[in-house]
Structure 1
C-alpha cells in the first residue's frame, strides 16, 4: 500500500507516459556523462586571499584546460595571459599585455575565445545545468553564441552582429567578466572543504561568503570550526578560547568591527586588571593585521584576561564531566599561589608572571563577578550577531563530522586508535562507541546543542568544547592542549603534546584499509582524505601516505604555518581520470601575478596513474540518479497494471 501511495504521488508529477519516457532518457543520458571535477581544500584558517585565488584558478585546473584546448595554437605566454584574464578579468582589463590595444577587434576576438573555451569546459554538463550557471542578464546572448553553427555563412554574420552590438552598447567589458565567472564555475564542479575555515587570520568572513555563494559545496567540520559553532551554541569556554586566539594573532579588533561584538566590558576589565607580559604580545602573521602601539598594549592585556577566564571555564567543565577523563588538566588547583609554583607530572615548576591576584585561592576555577559579566556580555553579543548566525547556520546545514562521497572517506582530524592500531572508544554518558559510531554520536550531540543553544552547561554543549581539546576527540587528536604551560612555564619539554597513535600509524596501508572498511569502503581505489596536521614538505614529508590510501591536504595555507611547512598548502583535484595533488606557493598579490604575467600554481602529482574514465553513473550522484530511474520504471509498471 505504501509503495502504491508513493507511485500515485509520483504520477502527479509525470502526467503522461511520454513525460516518464522523456525523464528516463534524460537521466540515463546524464549518467553517461564524464564525472565532474572535484576540488578538495582544508585548513584555510582565514587565509581569504589564498582561498579566493585557488577558487578563481581551479587550483591550476583552469591553466591545464587552457593548454588542452589552445596548446597547439598558442604560445605559453599567450596561455598564461588567458589564464590570468579568466581568473582576474577586472584587473586584466586594466593591465597592458605586450602593449596590445583593447579595441573593438580585440574585444570581439577575446569574446570568441572565451565562448569557444566555455564550450570546451562545458562538455561534462547537460545544457540545462549549463544554463543554471549563466548570468540571468546574458542568458539569451550567451546561448546564441554557444550554439550558433559558424560553418554557415549567414550564421557567421549573425554571430558577428551580436558581438558588434554588445560592443556598441558598451557591454563588452561586463560581458567578458561574466563569461570568465561562468568558466571559473565550470572548471570545478564540486568543492569539498575538509575542515578549519576559522582562526589564525581575520579573513574568515570572506571565505564564508564565498562558500555560501558557491554552487556546490560540502564541509567536514574541523576543530576550529567547532570552536566557533560551540560559541554560537552556548559554550562559554569555546567563545573565550576563540577570542583568545584572535587576540594572540592580532585580529580581535577586526572581529569586533565585522560582527558588531560588544568587547568594551572586556577591554575595560583587562585595562584595569592586567599589565604587560611578553608572552602575551600579539603575533602578527598576516600583513593586514597591523595596529598602533597602544592597541598592541591593549591586546596584550586582553589576551591575558581571556586566557585566565578560559582556564577557569575549562576547569569547570572537567570537574562536572568526569567521564571526559581529563582530571590531569585541572592545573589551577595544583598551584602554590604563595610561591607561584605548580606541580605537573610530579615535578615543580616556577610560574612566569602568573597573575595570582586574579584567582580565589579556595576555588581557583570560580569566575569573579566582573569576569561573569564579561563572559555573559560576550556570549549574548556573539549569539545575536546576524552575520555569525548566518555563517554558523550554513556550517550546520552543509557540514558533518565526515563524508563518504564517490567512494572516498573525508574527515578533518583522525579516527582515534590505540597503540596497537585498534579503533579506540569514547564514553558518551556511559555509552562506549568507536570508529564510525563514535563520529556519528559526536555529530548527533553537536546537532542537539544547535537546537538548544540557550543551554550553556548541558552535556551536548560541553562536548563541543571536548571536541576542541579532548584526548579522544577525532578533531583534536592529541593527549592534551598545553596552552597554560606555553604561557607560564619556561620549559619546552612540559609543553609537548603527544599525538594520537593514528598519526604514527597512518602510513600503514593495512591500518588505513581497516578504517576504510569501518565505513564500508572496500573498493580498490578507495581513499581517506584528511586535513588538520600541516605536512612539513620542506623536511621531505609527503602528503600521499599508506601506498596511496591516505592523502593529507593540509600544507599550510595560513601564513602562521608556512615557516614549518615551506609551502602554502595542498589542494587535491579529482577529475574523471583520477586524483592529482597540487602544491601551492604563498600568494603574494594580484599585482605580483600580473607583473610575472603568469600564475605558478601548476605543479601537479598524478596519484592514480592512468585509470579508466569515470562516468557520473559511477559516482554518489549517479547512485541517486539510478534510484530515480528505478522509481520511474516502477511507475511505468504500475501504470500498466492499472490499465
Structure 2
C-alpha cells in the first residue's frame, strides 16, 4: 500500500465504489492520449480592457489561424475576415450583415455550418465532459448534436440538415450563431495565465477582472500594481494613497469612481480648500491635454494629485518609522527637508526642491497628518472598504493568485527572485527571518493572505498589511525588484540622477543560463526542459531587445500591452501560446478599437516568433499535468484494489422507487 488508508478514505468520498473508481481510471487513461490543449500566457495588461477583451475573443490569434487553415482555399480574404469578426463580435456583426445580405437564409445556414466546422476542430483535443462544461445551457444540446453530426459526416447529414431547418423555422438562427461563436471563443484557449499587473495605467482594470472571473480556467501571479490595490482593499492607507495618486497621475479615475464606486469628492473638496492657490505644474497628469474634458478638469486633477501625494508621503514616513525591521529609514522623505531653505538631503547629497508649496505640512512634525487630512483619509478608506465590487475582485485575486505558479514545467512569477552580486540566490534578512528563493516567496505569499484574511487589529494582521506596501515599493520585494522607488524625487527634484532606480541583480543575471538553472532547481523543476516566464519590465523591441533570454530558458512577455509603454517598446505586447505544437511567442501590434474590429473587421496584427516548436505533437501524457493525472490513476487503482480486497466498504446511491 503506497497511500495511507486515511487518504484513500478521503478519495473514496469522490469515488464511493469500484464502478465509479474504475470509470474514472478509464477516462483518465484515455485523457493522457489527447493532444495538449492551448494555454495562453499574458502579462502587464494595465487596465487596457478593450485590447484584452479582443485578445480573449480572438484566442490570441488561434481562432484566425484555425479559420485560415480550414477555409483559405474556399473563401476570399474579405470573407475570412468577416467570419473572424463574426466569431469575435457575433451580435454586433449580425446586425450589420442583416442590412447588407441579399439572402439571409443562405447566410444563416452557411455561417452555422462553418462555425460548427471550426468548433469541431477545436473540440477534437478535449474530452466530452470538458466540452459539456463549456457549452451554454440554452443551445448546448443543439451544438452537441451538430458536433456529433460533423464527426459522423454523411451518416448524420440528413439529421443535421433537418435540425438546422427547424432552428430556422422557429427564428433561432441568430441565437445559435451567437452561442456557437461564444463556444468557439471559450474552447480556443484552455487556460489563461496572467503574469501580473492587471491594474493601473488604462481605464478598465475592473472590466479585465470581470472577464477573468467569467473565464473557465485562469490563474494569476500577482504583480506590484496588483498588490498595491490588494493592499488598499486590505486596509493599507499607504497603498490606498498610492492607488489614488497613480489614478490621478495618469488622468484615469474611472476605475476608482465608476468601476468601484470610490468617492473622490472629499479629496476634491480638500484640494480646493488647501491647494487652490498652488501654481506648480509638477503634478500635471501624464496624458495628452485633449484627453481631459477642459482646463478646469485639468486644474482640479492637478491639485487633487498633489494633495494625495503629500498625504502618501506622510503615510509612508509613518509606516517606515513604525517598521524599523524594513530597514528603509533613509527613505523617510519629509523628515529630510529643510523647509527654510527649500532643500532636501538624500543619501548624503543636498538637492533644491522645485516646488516648496506645502500648505498642509507642519515643519516641526512633517509626517503628521493634519486633522483635515485624517478625516479625509478615513472617508477614503471607508469608501475602499465598502466597495462590494472591489472586495469581490480582490477576493478573486487571492483565490486565483499567488506569488508564483508552476504549470507544465513553466515557472511563472511577475518580477524577480532576489539574487546576490554573484548571481546566487540571495538570503533576505527581513522581519527577523533569513530566507531565500522559494522559501522566501512562500513566506511573502503567506503574509499577503494574512493581510486580507487575518483578524483585523491583531499585531500579525497589522504587520501583514504594512508588508503589502513593502511588496509595492520595498528593496527586497520580488514584485518591485529595485533598490528604491523614487516617486518623491521625480516630483520634486530636477536632477535626473536622483530619479534613478537601480534594478536588482536578477536583471543582471537573468540572461545567464546557469542562473536560470539554479532558480528552476530551487522550485523543483528540471532545467533541461523547463522555462521561466516573467513580465514587469517592458521589452524594448525598438532598441533591439529580445524577449527570449538565457538561451531560451527565460521569456519576458511584457512588450507594452499598456498604451503608456508602446512608444517606448515599439510593439503592443507579447503573448505566449503553449499547445500541442510547442511554445509560440507572438508579438502584437496596437489594437485600434472595438468599433473598427466590428465595422471594418480589423484584427490585432501580429508577427509570430517560432520560439520552441516540439519535434512531435505533444500529448497530455508528455506534460507536467499529465504526471499529476498518472499519479491520480495510480491512487485510483490502489483504491480499486482496496474495494476488491474488502479493505474499504463500497457505497452505492440508493435507487428510487
TM-score scaled by length of structure 2: 0.93
Provide the residue aligned with 1:210 in structure 2: 211
**What is the DSSP-based 3-state SS (H/G/I as helix, E as strand, rest coil) of the residue aligned with 1:119?**
helix
Structure 1 Cα separation of the partners of residues 300 and 446 of structure 2: 40
Check conservation: 2:193, 2:220, Cα contact below 8 A. Answer: yes
Among 421, 445, 468, the alignment partner of 2:447 is 445
1:224-280 Cα offsets, whole Å, 9 max, x none, are: 100001011111000000000001111225522332223222211111111242111
Check conservation: 2:326, 2:431, Cα contact below 8 A. Answer: no
Structure 2's unaligned 5+ residue stretches are 648-657
Going from structure 1 to structure 2, the CA distance change for 1:455 and 1:236 (only over 3 Å counts) comes to farther
Structure 1's unaligned 5+ residue stretches are none
Provide the residue aligned with 2:234 in structure 1: 233
Provide the residue aligned with 1:281 in structure 2: 284
Going from structure 1 to structure 2, the CA distance change for 1:152 and 1:239 (only over 3 Å counts) comes to closer
Q: Does 2:191 match 1:190?
A: yes
Structure 1 Cα separation of the partners of residues 323 and 148 of structure 2: 65
CA displacement at 1:439 relative to structure 2: 0.7
Measured on the aligned residues, the alpha-carbon RMSD in Å equals: 2.2
Check conservation: 1:86, 1:180, Cα contact below 8 A. Answer: yes
CA displacement at 1:589 relative to structure 2: 1.2
Going from structure 1 to structure 2, the CA distance change for 1:206 and 1:442 (only over 3 Å counts) comes to same
Q: Does 2:58 match 1:57?
A: yes
1:500-531 Cα offsets, whole Å, 9 max, x none, are: 12112211111111111111112422010000
Check conservation: 1:276, 1:297, Cα contact below 8 A. Answer: no
Provide the residue aligned with 2:165 in structure 1: 164
1:556-595 Cα offsets, whole Å, 9 max, x none, are: 1111111111111111110012111111111111333356
Check conservation: 1:44, 1:197, Cα contact below 8 A. Answer: yes
Provide the residue aligned with 1:500 in structure 2: 504
Check conservation: 1:316, 1:365, Cα contact below 8 A. Answer: yes
Check conservation: 1:234, 1:454, Cα contact below 8 A. Answer: no
CA displacement at 1:323 relative to structure 2: 2.0
Point out the more displaced range, 156-165 or 29-38: 156-165
Going from structure 1 to structure 2, the CA distance change for 1:596 and 1:322 (only over 3 Å counts) comes to same
CA displacement at 1:385 relative to structure 2: 0.4
Provide the residue aligned with 2:303 in structure 1: 301
Structure 2 Cα separation of the partners of residues 150 and 540 of structure 1: 47
Provide the residue aligned with 1:47 in structure 2: 48
CA displacement at 1:407 relative to structure 2: 0.7
Provide the residue aligned with 2:338 in structure 1: 336
Provide the residue aligned with 1:101 in structure 2: 102
Point out the more displaced range, 198-207 or 12-21: 12-21
Check conservation: 1:323, 1:427, Cα contact below 8 A. Answer: no
Check conservation: 1:407, 1:523, Cα contact below 8 A. Answer: no
**What is the DSSP-based 3-state SS (H/G/I as helix, E as strand, rest coil) of the residue aligned with 2:40?**
strand
Going from structure 1 to structure 2, the CA distance change for 1:102 and 1:567 (only over 3 Å counts) comes to farther
Going from structure 1 to structure 2, the CA distance change for 1:103 and 1:314 (only over 3 Å counts) comes to same
Going from structure 1 to structure 2, the CA distance change for 1:265 and 1:405 (only over 3 Å counts) comes to same
**What is the DSSP-based 3-state SS (H/G/I as helix, E as strand, rest coil) of the residue aligned with 1:608?**
strand
Going from structure 1 to structure 2, the CA distance change for 1:152 and 1:235 (only over 3 Å counts) comes to closer
CA displacement at 1:620 relative to structure 2: 3.9
Structure 1 Cα separation of the partners of residues 323 and 280 of structure 2: 33
Provide the residue aligned with 1:576 in structure 2: 580
Structure 2 Cα separation of the partners of residues 566 and 152 of structure 1: 47
Q: Does 2:609 match 1:614?
A: no
Point out the more displaced range, 300-309 or 23-32: 23-32
Structure 1 Cα separation of the partners of residues 356 and 286 of structure 2: 20
CA displacement at 1:600 relative to structure 2: 4.3
CA displacement at 1:79 relative to structure 2: 2.6
Aligned length: 642
Provide the residue aligned with 1:556 in structure 2: 560
Provide the residue aligned with 1:312 in structure 2: 314
CA displacement at 1:454 relative to structure 2: 3.5
**What is the DSSP-based 3-state SS (H/G/I as helix, E as strand, rest coil) of the residue aligned with 2:282?**
helix
Check conservation: 1:221, 1:401, Cα contact below 8 A. Answer: yes
Among 461, 472, 482, the alignment partner of 2:465 is 461
What does residue range 385-534 of structure 1 map to in structure 2 within 5 Å? 385-452=387-454, 454-455=456-457, 458-534=462-538
Structure 2 Cα separation of the partners of residues 594 and 11 of structure 1: 51
What does residue range 22-101 of structure 1 map to in structure 2 within 5 Å? 22-96=23-97, 100-101=101-102
Structure 1 Cα separation of the partners of residues 12 and 614 of structure 2: 44
